[in-house]
Amino acid sequence: MTPTLVRRGELSPPPPQVHGRPIGADLPDAAIVIDATCALLSACTFAILVVQSDVSVRAPLTLLFVLFVPGWTLARLFGAPASVLSAIGSVALSIAVLTILGQSLVLFGGWKWYPAGLVLTGGCWLAGSWSALRHAARDVPRPVAPLAFSPAVPDWIISVSVNSVLIGNALVALGINRTVDGNFGVLGLVNVLSPLFWMGLILLVIGLVIVCAHGSRWAWLNVAALVTALHGLPGMLEPNPRFNVAWVHTGFADHIATEGTLLRFVDARFSWAGFFAGGGLLQRLTGTDSLLWLVRYAPLFYNGAAVILVGLLARRFRATEPQAVIAAALFGCLNWIGQDYFAPQATAFLLYLTIVTVVLYAFPAAPGRGRRRWLTTLLRAAPDNHRGLDGRAAVAVLAACYLLVVAMVISHQLTPGILVSATLLLVIVNSTRLRVLPIFVAVVFLAWLSYAADVYWIGHFDDLTGSVGEVGSLVTQNVSARTTSIEPGRQIVLRARIGLALLTWGLASISIAVHWIRRRTPIALVCLFVAPFPMLVLQPYGGEMALRVCYFTLPPAAIMISLLVVPGARTQTRASTGSWVLCGAAIALLTPVFVAARFGNESFESFSNADVALSRRLYDVAPDGATVFFAFAQSVQSYDRFGDVRFRGLPGGTADEITDQLTDRLQKSPVFVLLSQSQEAYGTYSLSRSKDWMQDLISELIATGRYRVIAELGRGVLLQLEQA
């Protein structure tokens, strides 16, 4: 049974094939409805922008427009059908349009965001209206054939899915409501979550497994609920957006939105400012003061999009519907890495996953053409008779892929390297006919590095090349430095992370071995799994390269694991009941390990109301040019007036020694010291300091007589250094 997910794939005739069935079949009714909705949304956004209205719906309407309409409009102009692949591709394409437009306005357009916004919304309005009328006139007279290969689903299966989601979500919501946030402790959210929350998760998993065992697409409803419960948890529980770097990124976007300039000499990330420029343009279009309102649920958006792409990839490699569903669920339960917050990395990952999915659907290599016999014998590759696109449709999809590549390159310095590795491997094993794609990615990356990122690489050449091949340094920065803690509870969190990573890679490797023995190796999946690892030996990336490798290997690994543990079409019998029970138990057991690994740092990655109020008080009193010192970077910082108020790490030593060093800075600018509850928790739980270490430091600093207390909120304090 081939699902709608794959059957309705990508652009015009001749349609691609999966298992001999077309994936490009259009659904006229759905297409017309989406076209009309996009045209209406464009018209509303255009009208709001023209009159500069501050109505409450401006921000959500504009966000919906920006995330979908430009990409969908472009896709429909070239004949894309209404399909899951077209829809998720439109999201990625819309993000690319926003990113490239924002970067272009900063570099070449003098930050003329208002006329650019009018052209974008007005153009989508006109093009969308024309597309809707054109397709309506063409498609209405044509009858729609029933989906003969989509058997009727028993009513009780639908009831199980819907009721498990409704009751499970109710228990999750009630559990969150009864959870007391604040003192998360060394295990993070595991310490405080109500038992009702865990009961809700178990019910969602039970419903997922029962519906999957009967091959129904309604299981995707359970996957959506499970991903929402896991990755939307902090947004629903905590009073403020989490993670200090996400706050900094909103500050970058706010600076571009306000000033229309790049501070490339202040922060290296402005050399790859596509994401921030797009964010600045979005902030202007929505008429908001910042993008903090997006930060809370950004992980839910990124994981939701990734789950859909994982399902599409799974179906591309002959996975059954249940296998695709379980692969998506595993991705959600194993993605503890924490790189999916409001950041260029999360956006680049989404673009990367979209590119490889579209390439494998639309541009497979011709069967038997160019494949080396010795390589085929060695790899024992599974036969692949998938038909791709050609003609005008292929050109349009290829142009869209190139647009996604450009948006990725100008937004993130690491992901293009992984894309080059992945596409090069796909070309070598003859899994795609796009032999020029890795060359194009490399050329665009080198061009951008030479033109727009020259300030960074000229000043950091030794940092970029100094660690190449130094395995000891790479291991120290990526593993040893991240697992050093004498706190027993902290060791549980660290071991949960390492355990999940090793479990994922280990099961994926076993799956590859099993498929190789059976002479059905999904060679393209193996390429995607192997591709990130070369980056690990090239650059430590500040000790985070291992995390990025885990992140990029997770989609193919989740699919490989699903193909290994979930019964296939030939074994989908009553005898497989035991396999489904074990599968459900494994996913249920994964959820608390995931919460510990993903949210074990909430004691210092979340921010209390006192932390936020203390930071806002700082911005109220600190003049432009002020320097703010903190004990650790785990604080609310840099989200406003970026470049005007500088943040620095507090020097070491006694209180008198610290004060002497800060006095030297006082000759140049006003000096403040910000010590917050999140910094205190970081020192206590991550560095194994005493629980009162920060209070002792505050007392010692005040005892020098050189500091004035500006504000005290909770256990945090804001001090200003005064002249002797």
pLDDT tens for 416-439 read: 999 999 999 999 988 999 999 999
DSSP label at residue 674: E
Residue with tokens 């081939």: 2
**Residues whose CB falls within 8 Å of the CB of residue 524, separated by 6 or more in sequence, listed in order:** 317, 360, 384, 426, 429, 431, 432
Residue 540 is predicted with a pLDDT of 54
Residue 678 lies in a domain: yes
Indicate if 108 and 224 belong to the same structural domain.
no
Write the pLDDT tens digit of every residue in 517-574.
988 889 999 999 999 999 887 655 556 888 999 999 999 999 999 999 988 765 555 4
Q: What is the H or E stretch that residue 656 is in? A: helix 655-666
Kindly report, residue by residue over 53-68, the tens digit of the pLDDT: 888 899 999 999 999 9
- The arithmetic mean of pLDDT across residues 639-651, rounded, is 92
Percent of the chain with pLDDT over 90: 64
Nearest residue to 705 (alpha-carbon basis) of 682, 722, 692: 722
For 631, residues 6+ apart whose C-beta sits below 8 A from its C-beta are 649, 650, 675, 679, 683, 694, 697
Q: Does a structural domain hold residue 112?
A: yes
Q: How confident is the model at residue 3 (pLDDT cuts 50, 70, 90)?
A: very low
The whole-number pLDDT of residue 476 equals 45
Instruction: Give yes or no: residues 703 and 617 share one domain.
Output: yes
Range of the domain at 182: 155-243
Among all chains, which residue has been given the structure tokens 């379980």? Answer: 326
Query: What's the pLDDT at 455?
Result: 67
Identify the pLDDT of residue 296.
92
Where is the domain boundary, 149, 175, 206? 149
Which residues does 303 contact at the CB level (< 8 Å), separation at least 6? 227, 231, 331, 332, 335, 340
- Provide the pLDDT for residue 16: 41
What pTM was computed for the model?
0.91
650 and 696 both lie in a single domain: yes
Query: What angle separates helix 298-316 from helix 219-231, to the nearest 10 degrees?
Result: 140
Assess if residue 494 is contained within a domain.
Answer: no
Residues 187 and 90 grouped into a single domain:
no
Residues 9, 33 share a domain: yes
pLDDT at 182 over 80: no
Is 408 among the domain residues? Answer: no
- Most confident range, picked from 66-70, 105-109, 124-128, 492-496: 66-70
**Contact between 272 and 449 (Cβ < 8 Å):** no
Last residue of a domain, one of 243, 258, 293: 243
> Are 49 and 72 in a shared domain?
yes
Task: Work out the pLDDT band at 489, boundaries 50, 70, 90.
Answer: confident
Sign of the dihedral defined by the CA atoms of residues 57, 60, 66, 72, in that order = negative
**What pLDDT digit, counting tens, does each position of 592-631 carry?**
999 999 999 999 999 999 999 999 999 999 999 999 999 9
Predicted confidence (pLDDT) per residue in 466-483, tens digit: 444 454 444 444 444 455
DSSP calls for 239-281:
SS---HHHHHHHHHHHHHHHH----TTT-GGGGG-HHHHHHHH
pLDDT, residue 38, reads: 93
Q: Say yes or no: 17 and 133 in one domain.
A: yes
Q: Which residue's structure tokens are 């990952």?
A: 349
143 found inside a domain? yes
Over residues 260-307, the pLDDT tens digits come to: 998 888 888 888 999 999 999 999 999 999 999 999 999 999 999 999
The pair of structure tokens assigned to 338 is 């924490």
Judge whether residue 145 has pLDDT over 90: no
176 and 61 assigned to the same domain? no
Domain assignment present for 268 = no
Question: Containing H/E element for 417?
Answer: helix 415-428
198-224 burial, b if ≥16 CB within 10 A, otherwise e?
bbbbbbbbbbbbbbbbbbbbbbbbbbb
Residue bearing the bigger pLDDT, 216 or 208 = 208
Cβ–Cβ contacts within 10 Å for residue 141, how many?
7
CA separation for the pair 233, 192 (Å, rounded) = 12
Say if 452 falls within a structural domain. no
Number of structural domains in the chain:
3
**The pLDDT value given to residue 28:** 58
Residue linked to tokens 């590119």: 355
**Contacts (Cβ under 8 Å, ≥6 apart) of 714:** 608, 610, 611, 614, 677
Residues 143 and 178 in one domain: no
* Chain centroid to CA 475: 25
Q: Tell me, yes or no, whether 438 lies in a domain.
A: no
What's at 126, amino acid-wise? Answer: L
What pLDDT does residue 18 have? 39
For 178, phi then psi, to 5°, come to -90, 0
Average pLDDT over the chain reads 86
Q: Is the pLDDT of residue 11 over 80?
A: no
Let me know: does 240 contact 606? Beta carbons within 8 Å.
yes
Per-residue model confidence (pLDDT) at position 373: 65
Whether 133 and 46 share a structural domain:
yes
| Pair (131, 171) in one structural domain | no
Final residue before a domain boundary, out of 215, 243, 271: 243
Q: Are residues 704 and 628 in the same domain?
A: yes
Q: Phi/psi of residue 114, each to 5°?
A: -70, -55
**Residue 237 · residue 179 · CB < 8 Å:** yes
List Cα–Cα distances, 455 to 450, 458, 460, in angstroms.
9, 6, 9
